[in-house]
Copies of this chain bind each other. A is one copy, B any other.
């Protein structure tokens, strides 16, 4: 046990919103209320490090306290099921300490001004890079502060953790919506292809979740194409041909980031030369490009659906497992820091064996930042047009349980930090 470090804490959210990032924040707030012997105050930075530089902060300890100064669990519950970063977000990449020491000196002077001794940053790859750089600089400084990262990304592409908070809820939304779209498409008897475009530029984890209903309810899209395997239009047409021999309604899931063997995105492929009346190039997306290609080749009814933002913000349908774990991760970050840990990200470690069990372990952040974890080739079938059962068994426990939103007059209630 390290010596007690007394002082304020600051927490920020960064990168793209998710349906679980506020559950992680709730975990940090919860951890703060349990650590008041060392953590004296909890600031929330508005719009991440960018807002902190402008000293735009709120007092989370005050906002989430009841009349007696204890944690107001009702407020916290509402925060947990509120989508998108309640503190606001930013997309700022920090300079290297060696390149711009003045930047860090300025940061340290702000930490000193508010007596901030704990720094918590919730985010994905870029945010863990912020944690790593700040840790690096602090080694050369005599200012004592503990820095912790808490993972967040629907993409599930962070190294050093079994999975990431936010992924389970996004996967649950995608799998549920795929089931519903498959039902919807099954009502007519005419030949039709429906292409569902799912987020994921480099990693196909979200698209893989589209096949989850197959091991749970025995229904699934006909094919699933991930960015980890080079996409071939000829093989794609042959796949569709094969599916039409079995049934008239074909449903296909594709990652937005699928690329041809030459490295070109499928979405940009058919855009070449396409422009509107004003001469603007169309940026149409992968689903739309495939819709046009299939229509051209088969002449049948084709529809493309881009699941778009709801994949990351559909807080009305989240995984209880995901939100519970996200809270644990946030709380663990505070308790670990109070106990002396710094320079770490809270990693999810899955226990060996059949029973799903996760522990939360601080892990050196420099080994995590800036590396992308894609879907391993052995999780994808030989033809490259679907995922394996093993892949789905890995995802399945992450979507378990339904987090309960509070509804008022038919709509979910969101907690807004004013």
Assess A177 versus B310: contact at CB under 8 Å? Given A213-B411, A280-B292, A296-B278.
yes
Q: Do B187 and A411 touch across chains, with their CB atoms under 8 A apart?
A: no
How far apart are the CA atoms of A88 and B186 in the complex, in Å? 7
Known contacts A88-B187, A176-B412, A316-B317, A280 near B309 by CB under 8 Å: no
Chain B residues positioned under 8 Å from A400 (CB to CB): 409-410
Which residues of the other chain, B, contact A319 by a CB distance below 8 angstroms?
Answer: 410
Docked-complex contact A316 and B176, CB < 8 angstroms: yes
- Whole-angstrom distance between the alpha carbons of A313 and B310 in the complex? 15
Which residues from chain B contact A213 at a C-beta distance below 8 Å? 411
- Assuming the contacts A47-B189, A84-B183, A187-B17, asked whether A175 and B276 have C-beta atoms less than 8 A apart, the reply is no
A142: Cβ under 8 A from any B Cβ: no
A179–B410 contact, CB under 8 A?
no
A196 to chain B, nearest CB (A): 9
Stretch of A30-38, A256-264, A265-273, A369-377 that contacts chain B: A265-273
Determine whether the beta carbon of A179 is less than 8 Å from that of B414.
Answer: yes
Candidate in A194, A212, A292, A316 with the most chain B CB atoms within 10 angstroms: A316
Q: Is A277 an interface residue (CB 8 A)?
A: yes
Interface size on A, residues (CB 8 A): 75
Query: When A187-B85, A272-B277, A400-B410 are in contact, do A181 and B313 touch as well, CB less than 8 Å?
Result: yes
A280 near B305: Cβ-Cβ < 8 Å? no
Q: A238 an interface residue at 8 Å Cβ cutoff?
A: no
Chain B's closest residue to A177 (CB) is B310
Chain A 202-216 against B: per-residue CB contact (8 Å), 1 yes, 0 no?
Answer: 000000000011001
> Could you say which residues of chain B place their CB within 8 Å of the CB of A216?
408-411
Shortest distance from the beta carbon of A167 to any chain B beta carbon, whole Å: 13
Q: Is the CB of A89 within 8 A of B187?
A: yes
The residue in chain B whose Cβ has the minimal distance to the Cβ of A321 is B410
A316 to B17, CA, bound (A): 22
A237 touches B (CB below 8 Å):
no
Chain B residue numbers with a CB within 8 Å of A227 are none
Is A217 within 8 A of B411, CB to CB?
yes
B contact residues around A414 at 8 Å (CB): 179, 183, 217, 219
- Within the complex, what minimum Cβ distance (angstroms) separates A20 from chain B? 13
Closest to A48 in B: B187
Contact indicator B280/A296 (Cβ below 8 Å): yes
Query: A181 to B310, alpha carbons, bound, how many Å?
Result: 7
**Residues of chain B contacted by A295 (CB below 8 angstroms):** 280
The answer to whether residues A88 and B309 also contact, given A213-B411, A280-B296, A411-B175 and a CB cut-off of 8 A, is no
Residues of chain B contacted by A90 (CB below 8 angstroms) = 188-189
How far, in Å, is A120 (CB) from chain B's closest CB?
Answer: 17
Let me know if A411 and B212 touch, CB within 8 A.
yes
At the interface, yes or no: A124 with Cβ under 8 Å from chain B?
A: no
Looking at the assembled complex, report how far the CB atom of A86 sits from the nearest CB atom of chain B, in whole angstroms.
9
8 nearest A-B pairs in the assembled complex, by CB-CB distance: A399-B410, A184-B313, A89-B187, A84-B183, A274-B276, A180-B313, A84-B184, A273-B277
Mark A residues whose CB is within 8 Å of B.
Answer: 13, 17, 47, 50, 82-85, 88-91, 172, 175-177, 179-181, 183-184, 186-189, 194, 212-213, 216-217, 219, 270-278, 280, 282, 284, 288, 292, 295-296, 303, 305-306, 308-310, 312-317, 319, 321, 396, 399-402, 407-414, 416
Question: Other CB < 8 Å A-B pairs besides A274-B274, A284-B288, 18 of them?
Answer: A50-B189, A82-B183, A83-B183, A84-B183, A84-B184, A89-B188, A177-B314, A181-B310, A183-B315, A217-B411, A273-B277, A284-B284, A303-B309, A305-B306, A305-B308, A399-B410, A399-B411, A400-B409
A-B contact pairs, 25 of them (CB 8 A): A17-B184, A17-B187, A83-B180, A85-B187, A88-B187, A89-B188, A176-B411, A177-B310, A180-B316, A183-B313, A183-B414, A184-B312, A184-B313, A213-B411, A216-B408, A217-B408, A217-B413, A270-B277, A273-B276, A274-B276, A274-B282, A280-B296, A303-B309, A317-B317, A400-B409
